[in-house]
Amino acid sequence: MSVKVEIWGPYACFTRAELKTERASFSVITPSAARGILESLYWHPGMMYIIDRIHVLSPIRFTNIRRNEVKDKVLASKLLASAKGGEIPCIATGESIQQRASMMLKDVHYVIEAHFDMTSKAGPGDNPGKFQDIIKRRLKRGSCYSQPYLGCRECTCYYRLWEEDSIPAIDESQDLGLMFYDNDYSNPKEIQPTYFHAVMKHGVIDLRNCEVIR
């Protein structure tokens, strides 16, 4: 059982890990970001999204934007202490704010093709067909658990169900190099990032048989 979701927006930034100080985006959406968007539309502990293909519908274009970011982070230990009745941590944004340059994507447009795998938390009545029907109904209504975004929260993601047979991907092929695939959560105490060699052929990145590199 699969589902196709059309997503688009004026800006996107799927940040490369090696360029975090001054943000720079990958050339296309990463499988991890695509999964995150689908989970914001519908999530259930008994299922797991597997991204099959990414169809690129608009030419890949970059633009430079200066953004205000906060340089400090609140420690998890302080949040835990606050939950137990301690002092509530805060960040003085006026003191820690910084202006940074970001190389972002402009006018992005994709169709995400995915299917569902069942997890050990699935109930007796859960199955891929059920989840497919639910997400299709939610997409037609425009429902979501949280507003999806394209890499950064200020990059709003618009979405709808793709119901056409053909997908008009751009007629362009590129070797996109090593790209972030997803995090491996098999060991919660040691979460590992994984990567893959991304190749776009006639506007389509096929992930079904890609080799995941740890």
* Residue pLDDT, tens place only, 41-74: 999 999 999 999 999 999 999 999 887 777 667 7
Sign of the Cα torsion 10, 14, 15, 18 reads negative
Structure-token match 């959406």, residue found: 29
* Residue pLDDT, tens place only, 119-129: 999 999 898 88
Nearest to 180, CA basis, from 27, 7, 56, 16: 16
Helices (H), 62-208: 76-83, 93-96, 128-141
**pLDDT tens series, the chain, 214 aa:** 789 999 999 999 999 988 767 789 999 999 999 999 999 999 999 999 999 999 999 999 999 988 777 766 777 777 787 888 887 777 766 666 777 788 999 999 999 999 989 999 999 989 888 899 999 999 999 999 999 999 998 899 999 999 998 999 999 999 999 999 999 888 888 889 999 999 999 999 999 989 999 8
Residue 66's pLDDT is what? 82
Separation of alpha carbons 116 and 162, rounded Å: 17
Helices 31-41, 128-141: crossing angle, 10 deg rounding: 80
Separation of alpha carbons 123 and 5, rounded Å: 26
Nearest to 104, CA basis, from 202, 12, 22, 200: 12
Helices (H), 84-206: 93-96, 128-141
For each of the domains in the chain, give its residue range(s) and CATH number, in order of start: 2-66+101-206 (3.30.70.2660)
Task: Let me know: does 205 contact 199? Beta carbons within 8 Å.
Answer: yes
- The backbone torsions φ and ψ at residue 78, rounded to the nearest 5 degrees and listed phi first, read -70, -35
